[in-house]
Chains A and B, each alone.
Chain A
């Protein structure tokens, strides 16, 4: 009685709606360009791996994936590392300006990337980080750090205060308590927060494209290269797209049990 009549049908239809465009992309990535342009086929009649082979052998292509993963990982590590103590502070203590600070963080999560594109370009050029993964990783902190603080604060608040107090009575120093007791207790929360940092850094394009030119170019920007004088290389574009979906699909699998709670920002 929790659910509504016809729920199986609704769910099935919605999942088909979600999967159909993705299927079409996968389908195209295994077709030759001749087949894509000349006929409308529901599955590849002459399946080929040529597009994938090209991406994995051409350095200008696969380096894009490495660059993207590089800044995503740096960003996730920085975000979680600085957000953990802050989340504890927001959850346990009241201090001067805490509410204003929290709101200020939140407002940065909501700020449009387009506003920051140009000033970031100037800033990171000025300090010599332009076209390195560090520039993109730091730029993505502007929305990922507040998000990580927000999610982790929800999870830390779920840990009873008595645990802190007992640990301090037992003679734990603060850093030792933090690493030995608190971090293992909210391990699932850290996983969820890391997942979200990974996700938002992975899907963002505007800043990543603005802050890189050659060396650290992300895969998303390299994909625009498939437009050439000879027309679009649809098969290659589709194959590159499919490969960008895979890392996301892998991480979802690991956090699938916490995903719903994470999307509610640890507040359910």
Chain B
């Protein structure tokens, strides 16, 4: 890279720094502060040290049990939706029409679910899945399935997962499409001359070229599914029982529902730490992938 060293560049970055610091650092300090204290109301606080953290990480307590259970559910949820959305997104990207008005039409329809407010996404599926007034629920029940996402855990899970696939597969598909578009035609011509099969073209040309965007897609999807709140909250409210209560839902219940500031703050910090670690891995892999490429090209 031929970037020049210039410390004055800090002046250009300063506005961003101030705006984000105002929104990020002050609130985070508040959280750290709360996580070490206990309160009996009336703005009287007591030092509690690492008590909340001990409780949080101990599955035998109420708080710890709830946290670890919701964490487990959340990881399972993220794994399932990644396993569905990534292959499906690739297939959809490969199925995109090549030219003409249909490209624009497909792009607009694909992007549509991404621009619907998250609670409306929840509302759409809440209505769509209801056995009495929703098309999906009605059809399934008349086909002989006893489908009811309000009372049956499995149905609730299926609904939440299908909803997420509906909502976010387009993101993976659009990213992959952007990656595919950047492949020069010469690659395909060379493959044709070599008589490469369809599968070989995919494995040798398309998949390596999609590497970077796939990485972005997987990590964005992991992050966003790991902090999912609004959609399952609207559809199932975390139920039936606690079966679809993910970490964010649990956190909001503790923080804004019970106003248990200390517990909520401790949970927030651990939750944030997990995200931060994953984010760091993401960043390192991304920047390495970016810097390795020119070296390889130079060596070849």
Q: What is A's interface to B at a CB cutoff of 8 Å? A: 1-5, 7-8, 10-11, 14-15, 17-22, 24-25, 28, 36-37, 40, 42, 78, 81-83, 85-86, 88-90, 92-96, 98-99, 101, 103-108, 110-120, 122-123, 138-139, 141-142, 145-146, 149, 161, 199, 202-206, 210, 219-220, 223-224, 234, 237-238, 241, 244-245, 248-249, 251-253, 256-257, 259-261, 263-265, 267-268
Q: Are A10 and B229 in contact (CB under 8 A)?
A: no
Chain A binder among B45-53, B79-87, B108-116, B147-155: B108-116
Q: Which DSSP category, helix, strand, loop or mixed, fits chain B's interface?
A: helix
A139 vs B23: C-alpha distance in the bound complex, in angstroms? 6
Nearest Cβ in chain B — how far from A135, in angstroms? 10
Nearest Cβ in chain A — how far from B290, in angstroms? 8
Q: Is B120 part of the binding interface, using a Cβ–Cβ cutoff of 8 Å?
A: yes
Task: List A contacts of B4 (CB < 8 A).
Answer: 92-94
Closest to A35 in B: B133
CB contacts under 8 Å to A, within B77-128, are: 91-92, 94-98, 104, 106-120, 123-125, 127-128
Interface size band for B: 35 or more
Q: Are A122 and B30 in contact (CB under 8 A)?
A: yes
Q: Which DSSP category, helix, strand, loop or mixed, fits chain A's interface?
A: helix
Q: Are B124 and A110 in contact (CB under 8 A)?
A: no
Q: Are A107 and B174 in contact (CB under 8 A)?
A: no
Task: List A contacts of B161 (CB < 8 A).
Answer: none
Select which of B112, B118, B132, B282 is within 8 A of A18 by beta carbon: B112
Given known A25-B124, A115-B272, contact A10–B92 (CB-CB < 8 A): yes
Q: Are B20 and A256 in contact (CB under 8 A)?
A: no
Q: What is B's interface to A at a CB cutoff of 8 Å? A: 2-10, 12-13, 15-17, 19-20, 22-24, 26-28, 30-31, 91-92, 94-98, 104, 106-120, 123-125, 127-128, 132-136, 138, 166, 169-171, 174-175, 177-182, 188, 191-192, 198, 201, 212-213, 216, 223, 226-227, 229-230, 247-248, 251-252, 255-256, 261, 264-265, 268, 271-272, 275-276, 278-280, 282-283, 287
